[in-house]
Amino acid sequence: MESTLGYLLILPALMWLVALVAYPFCLSIYFALSDAVIGAPSKFAGLKNYRELFTDEIFIQTVKNSFVFTVSAIFFKTAIGLSLALLLNKNLKFKRVIRGSVLLPWVVPTALSTLGWLWMYDSLFSVFTWTINWFLKLQFLKFLGFSPVEIAKLMIKLGLKPLEINWLGDPTLAMISVIAVNVWRGTPFFAICILAGLVAIPSGFYEAAEVDGAGTFSKFWHITLPMLRPVLAVVLLFSTVFTFAEFNIVFVLTGGGPMNSTHLFGTLTHLFAFTNLQLGKGAAVSLFMFPILVTVVLLQLRYIRGE
């Protein structure tokens, strides 16, 4: 009776997973192995889509972009998130307000916050370009008592000219820009999770280290980092999956451009499936992520289990 009741209790969750996870996944496998096109009947095509992808320059560029994007974003999110967590762990005034404010980039809907970044990256009205030019025009020297004439002479002497920076129109700057937004959005997740790990470390370890004469760096290297490894492993696991499958930020900012320099698997899938109406090729691109993510997840889970 109890075993039957247990199966009945998990049945709704199982049906939910089958309807929203298993069925779409199996359908995507079918599409990836067919020549499915929107508005036309499909037939089995085997590995034809994958053979075409491996000779497609856009797809090859997308693979490179995805690894550069993921590795760079996770590196900076880990470094900044760890630093921010160490800062938030201190006894600060208005600590609760600061902690709540740190979460804002992660709480705000992705598309909405990215639209704000789109305005800040605008080629004509970019606040970043304005700030850089403000410094290049040496306007801050006015506060030091320099006259406009002296400032103009100094600009001519130094050869300073106003810059026009096309943040989203240059391939390198575009990739840096989308990575920066992803880091801005994902850092709070790292900071709060690492902060929870810091709070759980017994203070007695630090007190014993101080008695032994350990400095700040020694305590961080020999106590804080080893105690945070399980937390960092879990956070890196989730962040790797979410970052590798990023779509919203790139789609809103660049749509994969310029010259396909920021295409990720998600945006390329959208391009093939919904712009070019090639469902089969789009599904093949999306499933290309699956073995990569499974490998990463298994390696990280193995490390977590060891810890």
Same structural domain, 262 and 294: yes
- Stronger pLDDT, 98 or 278, i.e. the higher one: 278
Note whether 154 and 186 are same-domain residues. Answer: no
- In this structure, are 69 and 145 located in the same domain? no
Give the residue-averaged pLDDT of 188-213.
Answer: 85
CA dist., res. 138 & res. 267, Å (int): 41
Q: How many domains does the chain have?
A: 2
Q: Are 256 and 250 in contact (CB under 8 A)?
A: yes
Question: What's residue 141's pLDDT?
Answer: 67
Whether 224 and 138 map to the same domain: the answer is no
φ, ψ of residue 164 to 5 degrees: the values are -115, 105
Residues 117 and 155 in one domain: no
Band of pLDDT at residue 71, cut at 50, 70 and 90 = very high
Same domain, 85 and 228: yes
In angstroms, rounded to a whole number, what is the distance separating the alpha carbons of residues 247 and 250?
6
Whether the per-residue pLDDT at 14 is higher than 80: the answer is yes
Residue 116 in domain: yes
**176 and 136 assigned to the same domain:** no
Averaged pLDDT for residues 165-181: 91
Q: Is residue 26 part of a domain?
A: no
Token digits of residue 15? 């049906």
- pLDDT band of residue 218 (cuts 50, 70, 90) is confident
Residue 160's pLDDT is what? Answer: 67
Shared-domain flag, residues 116 and 135: no
Residue 40 lies in a domain: no
135 in the same domain as 99: no
Give the residue-averaged pLDDT of 58-78. Answer: 93
Transcribe 204-248 into DSSP letters. HHHHHHHHTT--HHHHIIIIIHHHHHHHHHHHHHHHHHHHHT--H
Range with lowest mean pLDDT among 123-127, 146-150, 274-278:
146-150
Give the model confidence (pLDDT) of 264-306 as tens digits: 998 999 998 888 888 888 889 888 888 888 888 888 778 777 6
CA 259 to CA 119: how far, in whole Å? 21
pLDDT at site 75: 94
**pLDDT grade for 122, boundaries at 50, 70 and 90:** confident
Is 8 a domain residue? no
Q: State percent of the chain over pLDDT 70.
A: 94
Indicate whether 222 and 291 sit together in one domain: yes
If residue 307 lies in a helix (H) or strand (E), which one and from where to where? Answer: none
235 with 189: CB under 8 angstroms?
yes
Quick: pLDDT tens for 19-46.
888 888 888 888 888 888 877 777 888 8
Domain for residue 10, yes or no?
Answer: no
Quick one: 103 and 118 in the same domain? yes
Same domain, 116 and 134: no
Q: What is the mean pLDDT of the chain?
A: 85
Q: Which residue has the tokens 């009947």?
A: 41
List the domain range (segments joined by +) for residue 227. Answer: 47-123+167-306
**Final residue before a domain boundary, out of 103, 138, 164:** 164
